[in-house]
Structures are given as C-alpha cells and as structure tokens.
A and B are shown apart, each in its own frame.
Chain A
Amino acid sequence: SQTIHQWPATLVQPVGSPLSLECTVEGTSNPNLYWYRQAAGRGLQLLFYSVGIGQISSEVPQNLSASRPQDRQFILSSKKLLLSDSGFYLCAWAGTANSPLHFGNGTRLTVT
C-alpha cells in the first residue's frame, strides 16, 4: 500500500531564517505531488504541484520554492521566512490526473 511521510511535524523558526520541508511517498511510481498551505481557520491554498521529476508548477507568487529531485520526493523551501509564512503545510500525492489526493500528516510552522 502507498504511504506518505512528511516531516517535521512542528517547526518554530525566526523571521528571516531558511526553511526546508520534505515529503516522500512509498508504494507508487511517478505520483503527482502537491504542497498546500492552510492558514489558521482557513481553507487549503495550493502552492506547488509536480507531475514528474524536475517539473514544478507554482500557483501563488511568494518567497517559497519547491523541488522534486527524485520521483517520490518533494521539497518545499524558503531562503528567508516571513511572518505570513506561518501555517499548516500539507504534502499530498495522487496516482493520476483526476485521482483523489492523499495527504501527509502535515507540518505546523510558526514563524516568530
């Protein structure tokens, strides 16, 4: 069966510090991968998605970036965090187009 791992679970970082969140998927090949952010009490905002190694689509202009160095690895990064980057970051995978998303447990990021 397929599993998705996301870490760390919680993170507290000062403004201006770098960020790296990692997500890996097991049990499937060539998944579509996604990063979402959920601000407190809000819906999910799509940040990036990838349909293959090295292929990244950005949905929202911001100081975040994403990379997919391996088929089942998706990384979210920032060089300098802003207070507004605080939120619940969720990685998800889907088997094909039109398939449902399956989420990791999320990373709760607080920028202080």
Chain B
Amino acid sequence: QKEVEQNSGPLSVPEGAIASLNCTYSDRGSQSFFWYRQYSGKSPELIMFIYSNGDKEDGRFTAQLNKASQYVSLLIRDSQPSDSATYLCAVQNTGGFKTIFGAGTRLFVKA
C-alpha cells in the first residue's frame, strides 16, 4: 500500500464549478497535512495546510480532514482556468520531519 494515495485523474470541471480532490494516507500517527499546486515545469507551491479534523477555508479553497478515515480532501470553489494544474497531497509522518507526497491529481478547468 502506498503511503499517500491520490486519484491521478485527469479531473475535468467547467469554469465556475467546484473541483473536489481526494487523498488517503496510511500512517495513523500523521499530524500535518498539506495541499500543493504544481504547474507544469514548475516547483510545488503550498496552497493549504490542516492539522485538525474538520474543515479549513481560505478564499476559494477548503481543506477537509478526517483522521479516523485517514482521508484528506481539497475543494476548489468557482474553479478558474488558472486553477488547471497538478494538485499534490502531502502528509508528514509521525515525528513531523518527513513529508510524503502523493503522485498528484491533474485538474483541468474548461473555460
């Protein structure tokens, strides 16, 4: 079993719709969870982090964490063509020094 799993996609949504990205992880002791956005040929940039169960909102982005189900998700409201990128889910292991990444989900937002 992979440590962090994501659907590779591609996920295609129309402009203005909600994009829903999902991620599961295997280390039950994980404490910190992150979502990064990576444009083609560029390095990843942090868009959200979440440490506690529940929802965390930042502008058009909402991260959701359910530690009992070992599940993290990212919702992007009012999706824009500029949101088209690969979204990487990242989980820090117990101890907090190693960050493990999923393979990423490619999102396409159609104008």
Residue of A nearest to B96 (CB): A97
Residue among A49, A96, A100 facing the most chain B CB atoms (10 A cut-off): A100
Question: Could you say which residues of chain B place their CB within 8 Å of the CB of A77?
Answer: none
Q: Does B108 contact A (CB under 8 A)?
A: no
- Taking a contact as CB atoms under 8 Å apart, the answer to whether A101 and B103 are in contact is no
Interface size range on A against B: 20 to 34
- The A74-111 residues at the B interface (CB cut-off 8 A) are 90, 94, 96-106
Question: Could you say which residues of chain A place their CB within 8 Å of the CB of B46?
Answer: 100-102
Question: Could you say which residues of chain A place their CB within 8 Å of the CB of B102?
Answer: 43
- Can you give 18 A-B contacts (C-beta < 8 A)? A32-B97, A44-B88, A46-B100, A59-B98, A90-B44, A97-B95, A97-B97, A98-B31, A98-B32, A98-B92, A98-B96, A100-B32, A100-B34, A101-B34, A101-B99, A102-B46, A103-B43, A105-B43
- Which residues of B does A touch, CB under 8 Å? 31-32, 34, 42-46, 49, 51, 88, 90, 92, 95-104
